[in-house]
A and B are shown apart, each in its own frame.
Chain A
Amino acid sequence: MADILFSFTEKKDTRSGFGEGLLELGRNNDKVVALCADLTGSLKMGEFKAEFPERFFQVGIAEANMMGLAAGMTIGGFIPFAGTFANFATGRVYDQIRQSIAYSHKNVKICASHAGLTLGEDGATHQILEDIGMMRMLPGMTVINPCDFNQTKAATIAIAEHYGPVYLRFGRPKMPVFTPKDQKFEIGKAIRFIEGSDVSIFATGHLVWYAIEAQAMLADQGISAEIINIHTIKPLDEEAILESVRKTRAVVSAEEHQIHGGLGDAIAHVLAKKLPSPMEMVGVQDSFGESGTPEELMEKYHCSPKDIAQAAIEVLKRKV
């Protein structure tokens, strides 16, 4: 991608990218329907609801029912986008997703906001850090965690064109907008944002911008880091990962998720089989979160740009 910005002029929340994408889909595809479990404002689904009331379904605080309704609405040719907080979109309804959506291969788009620590002050009950792991274990599920407003909007539009169940994960806080407006989103295609030679940093979601910040810190110390955006965790772009690691032979993964089960595990699985290499994983180290501002939490739980830079320095010590 040529025109990535290494500075930014505005901050926007990824959930608003989802809302804009959904609205655009509503205008261009009359098969797109939306369901929400009493979080229309938080999910930024209000404009879709206002413009397409006959295609919007308020289900109340009943997420299990919402997943079943969405599965049923595919029978008749519709493409349901079911939105709620990531916690209630995954852990709460895992069996509904497993049986009625994944095993039944239904064309449902599970749209999950407020994922991870940056949900902030509501605390650990709502800060799901296991959702990527749960969703990527389901056969046939596509798992996407875009990095900024523009990429989230593009991903929202792209998943309507893909037949099959999708888990789309995004978040609450305003984050730098640094990828191009009106980009084309290719499911399963990693994007190299910055070329480097010493260490490969694979990041997803909000941690992509942090990885770019970490790259600048590392450059100051004479370390050349390659920054690759893995927006699609499943199917994973194995070739892009291997191509980068063949060059650097040192790996850092970065995600707003438990280190168990997420992007880091997915990459480690590929490398263990095909190209064993020293690796550090930035993420939450097998603990629950807590209340705090997003910035405080990312620092306390070692998901900050500084932590990514430190992980790169550590992994370079083990590079052969």
Chain B
Amino acid sequence: MNTPELQNIASQIRRDIVRMVHGAGNGHPGGALGCTELFTLLYFKLMKHSPEFTMNGLGEDLFFLSNGHISAVWYSSLARSGYFPITELQSHRKINSRLQGHPTTHEGLPGIRVASGSLGQGLSVSIGAALAKKLNKDPRWVYVLMGDGELQEGQIWEAAMFAPHNQVDNLIAFVDYNGQQIDGSTLEVLENPNLDKKFEYFGWEVLQCNGNDLEELEACILKAQSLSGNKKPIMILMHTQMGYGVDFMMGSHHWHGVAPDDAQAQKALAQLPETLGDF
């Protein structure tokens, strides 16, 4: 799949995010929009996966979302990959829905392997799944995405210590490095400087790239794949802009957890071409 095709998919996913959050009247559009390139690449080009979902995912690549609040981008990616009908996207955050505010296995939504949302837990879970792949002699990769604010949680650093010590080298982790969290910029709230050096000193292979540039991000993930199997887990610090793709949502923490009103939603959708048909 070439870049223009991927850009079309990304545009539709962004439309889905805006329409889902607007439809619910609340949600987390900022981080979801900022990570759309990653989901587009993983689900439509790079991951070996099947919408005929099995929990154990033997022989497949696995993806875990630790910062579960950006669920809208994941739900759209899963639906548009065929895991469930796109019409179900309209149920997001509503009563009796499988598309809970934060992702869960509880309602049996295909594509989800663990609940997330209470932050800091997904890295540990993904490492466990990567260990299971090794025990099963399953050569596929495990991917996990975390937020940069989430790295303030202590459990992340327990996991960061464990993975290199145990040579979990089939794991490719991403940090959505947008510098924003609910209460403000990460610099203001709780500075966590030198992330690259921190993970390097913990024993990780660290890569950095622009997470909103499809070609640069793809090259980075391909490099990560080529570096895997060398006894080190891999961390990609993915520099993104919260709210990317909608001009008035970009560059601040304001749109972390706020839904657009009708006029704002119209203004946002005008910037995002409908390429695959809205749900």
Q: Is the CB of A68 within 8 A of B123?
A: yes
**Residue in B116, B128, B158 whose Cβ sees the most chain A Cβ within 10 Å:** B128
Which residues 132-160 of A have a CB within 8 angstroms of B? none
Q: What's the Cα separation between A256 and B223 when bound, in Å?
A: 56
Q: Does A64 contact B (CB under 8 A)?
A: yes
Closest partner residue, chain B, to A54 (CB atom): B135
Q: A104-B104, A104-B114 are in contact. Are A76 and B155 (CB under 8 A)?
A: no
Contacts of B161 in A (CB 8 A): 60, 62
**Residue in A72, A80, A104 whose Cβ sees the most chain B Cβ within 10 Å:** A72
Q: Does A75 contact B (CB under 8 A)?
A: yes
Interface string of A100-124 (1 = CB under 8 A from B): 1001111000000000000000000
Q: Is the CB of B57 within 8 A of A99?
A: no
Q: Does A302 contact B (CB under 8 A)?
A: no
Q: Is the CB of A78 within 8 A of B116?
A: no
Contacts of B116 in A (CB 8 A): 99
Q: Does B93 contact A (CB under 8 A)?
A: no
Q: What's the Cα separation between A77 and B55 when bound, in Å?
A: 9
Band of interface residues on A: 20 to 34
Contacts of A62 in B (CB 8 A): 158-159, 161-162
Number of interface residues of B (CB under 8 A): 38
Q: Does B118 contact A (CB under 8 A)?
A: yes
Q: Is the CB of B121 within 8 A of A57?
A: no
Closest Cβ of chain B: how far from A104's Cβ, in Å?
5
Q: Does B96 contact A (CB under 8 A)?
A: no
Q: What's the Cα separation between A80 and B132 when bound, in Å?
A: 10
Q: A55-B135, A62-B162, A65-B155 are in contact. Are A72 and B126 (CB under 8 A)?
A: yes
Q: Is the CB of A72 within 8 A of B131?
A: yes
Q: A65-B162, A99-B115 are in contact. Are A75 and B129 (CB under 8 A)?
A: yes
Looking at the complex, which one of B118, B120, B124, B154 makes contact with A72 (CB distance below 8 Å)? B124
Q: Is the CB of A99 within 8 A of B117?
A: yes
Q: Does B106 contact A (CB under 8 A)?
A: yes
Closest Cβ of chain A: how far from B129's Cβ, in Å?
4
Q: Is the CB of B115 within 8 A of A104?
A: yes
Q: Does B19 contact A (CB under 8 A)?
A: no
Q: Is the CB of A75 within 8 A of B132?
A: yes
Q: Does A266 contact B (CB under 8 A)?
A: no
Q: Is the CB of B135 within 8 A of A76?
A: yes
Q: Is the CB of B135 within 8 A of A72?
A: no
Closest partner residue, chain B, to A72 (CB atom): B128
Given contacts A64-B120, A69-B125, 11 further A-B contacts (CB under 8 A): A59-B162, A68-B128, A70-B128, A72-B124, A72-B131, A74-B128, A75-B57, A76-B57, A100-B121, A100-B125, A104-B106
Q: Is the CB of A76 within 8 A of B125?
A: no
Q: Is the CB of A75 within 8 A of B162?
A: no
Closest Cβ of chain A: how far from B150's Cβ, in Å?
13
Closest Cβ of chain B: how far from A147's Cβ, in Å?
32
Q: Does B56 contact A (CB under 8 A)?
A: yes
Q: Is the CB of A72 within 8 A of B104?
A: no
Q: Is the CB of B131 within 8 A of A57?
A: yes
